[in-house]
Amino acid sequence: MFELFSPRKADRSLLAISPNRWDWALLPLVLIVLLAVAFGAAQMSRPFMVGEATPISLDPAYLPYYLLRTILRMFMALGFSLLFSFVFAAIAAKYRAAEKIMIPMLDILQSVPILGFQAIAIAPFIAFFPGNLLGVECAAIFAIFTSQAWNMAFSLYQSIRTVPSELNEAARVFRLSGWQRFWRMELPYAMPGLLWNMMMSMSGGWFFLVAAEAISVAGQDIKLPGIGAYIAVAIEARDLHAILWAIGAMLAGIVLYDQLFFRPLLAWADKFRFEESQGDTAQRSWLLDWGRRSRWMRAFSARVWSLLRRTLGWFSLRHDGTSPQTSARTIHPWWPRIWDGLVLFASLLAVFRLALFIHSDIGLTEILHVVKLGFITLLRVLLLIGLASLIWVPIAVWIGLRPKYSQCVQGAAQFLAAFPVNLMFPLVVYLLVSMQLNPDIWLSPLMVFGTQWYILFNVVAGAATIPNELRLASDNLGLKGWLKWKRVYLPAVFPSYITGAITASGGSWNASIVAEYVTWGKTTLIADGLGSYIKQMTDIGDFHRIGLGIGVMCIFVMLLNRFFWRKLYLLAEDRSH
């Protein structure tokens, strides 16, 4: 991520370069990070048998070790999420036939609760690594992956679909191949928004961390060393001091990876902003500044970039003179209809098999009851997303237009977005029990507590990419107040807002499992809804009813996305061209 050298300098041996003071300043930091990663990774693979006790100590002295294990899992999941996003977004944005399947599939995947993925994945991973803790670790990483990947994939897809027409015209003039368009134009254009969504995805991983590290499926209770398992044990023991220590450890971890990872990346990605003049929007990072002054780091980064360019060059096939538009004309006119028929047949077959699976143990009365619970959760989702939008869109635009405040707010927003709703259970239970409040109403805000930040982060990213020329032009025209918001700010951030709202909506459905079923020690508060239904069925291991709950949730999310969010998304796409 540092400045590039010439190929001649890139080939020089690092040992032949004399270090400067910045090299000596960075060397201890690099060594500490490498040693911590190596130690944490070694602890992930050790003998383990299912049913073996995995004690978690509430002694604060163990928190640095637990924090290391948790951050390693989250960054491994983030790496897989990034690879998934590249492949998914590129295929879905470029191939209409694939898009018809992949985008609805993404709607389904982001609506499937993390407990649903965990119930399915835990057994295969354990079987794949028999007698080793690595199987359970992989299951936890996969669970965190499912809380990160969908948001990033949809963000990259949305950015590729809304690339400005000037860039598309330039790609046609330079006759770029499909791979060259993606690597040299579409991915750089999408980079600022993708990085903000990576931060949001990391925070989403924290939000569901308890479910990922404290695995409880069909009577199996496995706790992996980590902050999530520490929180789960603290909740069971009703230990408020441990909860406070966990909050402190989370804050320390978020500040560390923000300063060492996300802040340098945001400052580096600022060069990809789509405008001629950068204005006052540049991000700053002390670590990136140190790296640019370090001789070893500059030489190392030059070597890495040189190797990366050569590697990617193998895939940069020559352009054959066609474009996606012209190649589409060569497709037989009946092929789209045949493809649509195959997709419809596969969907009906899947629905039929799911109906048989559910009907074998569940009657019509139970199905109607679950559908009713789905409508209750749907009402909560719509009301809470609407309220969150009214609050956070103006705040996010204000932050995105002021980078000096954006950098200050960035860490705080990551911490609030990462704050697991489980940590609020003591306060929530105390207030609802002492004041005799209705759980059906007052547990609802917990659903949007961890998902409203999708709106904030996406709109901040959208506002930060508003060209400085456009802002200067609006000032010269004398646009002020509501007129400026209506003509400039809101249209500019509308595509980013839709992306955030869609992921926030899907995340709220997922969060309903945590928000509608609250426990603190022996006290349990339950709100009627689809989330509490799935949680209760997961605890008793009733896979037929788990499948019913997840299936109904997927149907609700797909219908909501198809008939509401999709129309708004198409409107945003039209306005971006």
DSSP 255: H
Pairing of strands 214-217, 220-223: antiparallel
The per-residue pLDDT for range 271-280, each reduced to its tens digit, is 776 654 444 5
The gap from C-alpha 365 to its chain's centroid, in whole angstroms, comes to 37
The per-residue pLDDT for range 535-572, each reduced to its tens digit, is 888 777 777 788 788 888 888 888 887 788 878 877 77
Q: Give residue 538's pLDDT.
A: 77
Residue 329 has pLDDT above 50, yes or no: no
User: What is the C-alpha separation between 27 and 472, in angstroms, rounded?
Assistant: 43
Q: Which two tokens stand for residue 125?
A: 């991973």
Residue 402 has pLDDT above 60, yes or no: yes
Determine the longest span between alpha carbons in the chain, in angstroms: 77
Residue 26 has pLDDT above 50, yes or no: yes
The per-residue pLDDT for range 339-352, each reduced to its tens digit, is 667 767 777 777 77
The residue with greater pLDDT, 230 or 3, is 230
Q: Which among 171, 160, 170 has a CA at the least distance from the CA of 495?
A: 160
User: What is the C-alpha separation between 285 and 251, in angstroms, rounded?
Assistant: 19
Q: Give residue 265's pLDDT.
A: 86
pLDDT confidence tier of residue 319, bands split at 50, 70 and 90: very low
Amino acid at 321: G
Q: Which among 264, 261, 258, 147 has a CA at the least distance from the CA of 213?
A: 147
Residue 448 has pLDDT above 60, yes or no: yes
User: What is the C-alpha separation between 149 and 152, in angstroms, rounded?
Assistant: 5
User: What is the C-alpha separation between 465 and 101, in angstroms, rounded?
Assistant: 30
The per-residue pLDDT for range 411-435, each reduced to its tens digit, is 677 677 777 666 777 778 778 888 8
Residue 241 has pLDDT above 60, yes or no: yes
- Give the homologous superfamily in CATH for domain 47-281+363-575: MetI-like (1.10.3720.10)
CATH 1.10.3720.10 domain residues, the chain: 47-281+363-575
Beta bridge partner(s), residue 524 = 519
Q: pTM for the whole thing?
A: 0.74
The per-residue pLDDT for range 35-47, each reduced to its tens digit, is 998 998 888 888 8
Q: Give residue 379's pLDDT.
A: 92
The per-residue pLDDT for range 470-489, each reduced to its tens digit, is 777 887 777 777 888 888 88
- Residue located via tokens 């839709």: 498
Beta bridge partner(s), residue 47 = 132
Q: Which among 65, 82, 410, 457 has a CA at the least distance from the CA of 259?
A: 410
Long-range contacts of 64-67 (CB under 8 A, 24+ apart): 64/249, 65/225, 66/225, 66/226, 66/227, 66/229, 66/230, 66/249, 67/227, 67/249, 67/250, 67/252, 67/253
Q: How many CB atoms lie within 10 A of CB 566?
A: 17
User: What is the C-alpha separation between 196 and 407, in angstroms, rounded?
Assistant: 12
Contact between residue 171 and residue 181 where contact means Cβ atoms under 8 Å apart: yes
Comparing 5-9, 180-184, 310-314, the range with the smallest average pLDDT is 5-9
Mean pLDDT of 380-401: 89
Contact between residue 437 and residue 525 where contact means Cβ atoms under 8 Å apart: no
User: What is the C-alpha separation between 220 and 10, in angstroms, rounded?
Assistant: 53
Instruction: Give the containing element (helix H, strand E) for 78.
Output: helix 63-94
The per-residue pLDDT for range 354-365, each reduced to its tens digit, is 677 666 667 778
| Residues with Cβ within 8 Å of residue 402, at least 6 apart in sequence | none
pLDDT confidence tier of residue 227, bands split at 50, 70 and 90: very high
Residue 73 has pLDDT above 90, yes or no: yes
Mean pLDDT of 457-477: 80
Contact between residue 509 and residue 377 where contact means Cβ atoms under 8 Å apart: yes
User: What is the C-alpha separation between 177 and 322, in angstroms, rounded?
Assistant: 9
Contact between residue 502 and residue 150 where contact means Cβ atoms under 8 Å apart: no
Report the C-alpha dihedral over residues 157, 159, 161, 165, rounded to 10 degrees: -160
SS3 annotation, 247-280: HHHHHHHHHHHHHHHHHHHHHHHHHHCCCCCCCC
Q: Give residue 563's pLDDT.
A: 83
Q: Give residue 318's pLDDT.
A: 47
pLDDT confidence tier of residue 3, bands split at 50, 70 and 90: very low
Direct distance between the N- and C-terminal alpha carbons of the chain, in angstroms, rounded to an integer: 31
Cα dist from 315 to 84, 85, 184, 304, 487, whole Å = 18, 18, 13, 17, 42
pLDDT confidence tier of residue 317, bands split at 50, 70 and 90: very low
Instruction: Give the containing element (helix H, strand E) for 526.
Output: strand 523-526
Residue 284 has pLDDT above 80, yes or no: no
Contact between residue 291 and residue 298 where contact means Cβ atoms under 8 Å apart: yes
Q: Give residue 41's pLDDT.
A: 87
Q: Which two tokens stand for residue 448?
A: 């949007």
Residue 47: what are its φ and ψ, rounded to 5°?
-60, 140
Residue 114 has pLDDT above 70, yes or no: yes
Beta bridge partner(s), residue 216 = 221
Residue 172: what are its φ and ψ, rounded to 5°?
-70, -40
DSSP E strands in 88-245: the ranges are 214-217, 220-223
